[in-house]
């Protein structure tokens, strides 16, 4: 009986060996088991920034589309009227970005396609919208391209609306100079319904300096729903260093240019006994020139046209010709606050004066201040001026 069982076991082992060998012989050499899954090439995956369907996006932010596991065939970003936005691919065409700003309150639609590693085309689709300002506020620079100005000229940006977020605006402003110059922006009280910000150096501008102002204001949120309307810029030159030394007690007006005296005019300043008629002490700045200027005062009862008038403040102070005070020029102060010169001397000064020239008045008890309006930047110490910055 044992012999029979042994023979049966040997036969079964032999059969199993044959089956196994047959199975192995039927599988190609090196092939995987039938249960092993095949690895497929991936399809293109597209990412959008700003996200598709998003709103209130900044028009100055870069719109970018990227693809993973593929490359772009073409990309378009289209405005509502069908205009396409300029943009560029990276080297391997896996990214496309805008190269120009967008518009306010617009919907932009993606188009084009990308091909994945699997060879299949995937279309670009979706849209986003940009912010809709409650108001756009425009800024204007006081010094235009190519001008030559005096060493005391402040740079002013006057806005036609209120700026609530002054720090955001100031971060968008830059000043570059051909020689190192220390300076600071300072925010002044709103005037005429609009905000204003000035830039002045710590000391007078160095003569011959080239100054470039850039205000990248488009797209900047000013606060309270207002946004910047447009970028502005200017490049200008600082001229010769001409400074007027106006000591009221000397009854003279001295003109210094590049450290040398070039004129000494007999003058009459504001009447000292009337504080309202005192010529204000402090650094005035030449802002305007008139060959003929009508001057009116109801309080003091005059209405006259004066020649060769150079404005030095916004409170009515001018350097101008006045034959009526000729006898006092060089000896007495009798004016209503202006600096009176003879016709010939006033014409000579008029011809040599530039916007931004400093006029340093000394010797009176009444100081030039913000109450006198317009340019009073130089009446403050450097530390106080820097305190007017929003940054």
The catalytic residue positions are 320, 338
Name the token pair of 198. 């000035």
d(CA 332, CA 350): 22
d(CA 321, CA 348): 10
d(CA 306, CA 300): 16
Q: Are 202 and 215 in contact (CB under 8 A)?
A: no
- What are 148's strand-pairing partners? 237
């Amino acid at each position: 009986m044992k012999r029979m069982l042994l023979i049966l076991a040997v036969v079964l082992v032999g059969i199993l060996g044959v089956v196994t060998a047959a199975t192995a012989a039927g599988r190609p050499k090196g092939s995987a088991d039938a249960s092993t899954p095949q690895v497929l090439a991936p399809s293109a995956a597209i990412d959008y920034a700003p996200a598709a369907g998003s709103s209130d996006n900044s028009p100055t932010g870069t719109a970018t589309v990227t693809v993973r596991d593929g490359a772009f065939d073409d990309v378009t970003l289209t405005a509502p009227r069908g205009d396409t936005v300029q943009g560029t691919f990276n080297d391997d065409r896996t990214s496309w970005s805008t190269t120009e700003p967008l518009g306010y309150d617009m919907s932009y639609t993606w188009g084009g396609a990308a091909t994945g590693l699997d060879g299949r085309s995937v279309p670009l689709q979706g849209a986003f919208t940009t912010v809709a300002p409650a108001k756009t506020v425009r800024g204007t620079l006081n010094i235009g391209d190519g001008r030559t100005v005096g060493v005391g000229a402040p740079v002013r940006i006057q806005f036609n609306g209120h700026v609530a977020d002054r720090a955001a605006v100031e971060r968008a402003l830059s000043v570059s100079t051909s020689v190192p110059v220390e300076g600071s922006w300072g925010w002044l009280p709103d005037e005429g319904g609009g905000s204003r910000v000035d830039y002045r150096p710590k000391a007078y501008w160095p003569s011959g300096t080239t100054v470039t102002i850039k205000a990248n204001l488009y797209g900047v949120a000013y606060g309270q729903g207002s946004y910047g309307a447009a970028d502005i810029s200017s490049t200008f030159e600082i001229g010769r260093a001409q400074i007027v030394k106006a000591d009221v007690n000397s009854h003279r007006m001295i003109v210094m240019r590049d450290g040398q005296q070039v004129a000494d005019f007999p003058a009459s300043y504001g009447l000292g006994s009337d504080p309202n008629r005192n010529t204000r002490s402090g650094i005035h700045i030449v802002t305007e020139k008139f060959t003929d200027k009508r001057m009116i005062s109801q309080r003091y009862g005059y209405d006259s046209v004066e020649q060769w008038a150079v404005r030095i403040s916004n409170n009515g102070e001018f350097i101008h010709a006045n034959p009526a005070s000729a006898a006092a020029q060089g000896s007495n102060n009798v004016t209503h606050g202006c600096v009176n010169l003879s016709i010939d001397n006033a014409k000579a000064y008029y011809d040599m004066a530039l916007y931004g020239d400093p006029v340093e008045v000394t010797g009176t008890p009444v100081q030039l201040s913000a109450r006198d309006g317009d340019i009073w930047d130089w009446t403050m110490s450097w530390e106080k001026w820097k305190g007017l910055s929003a940054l």
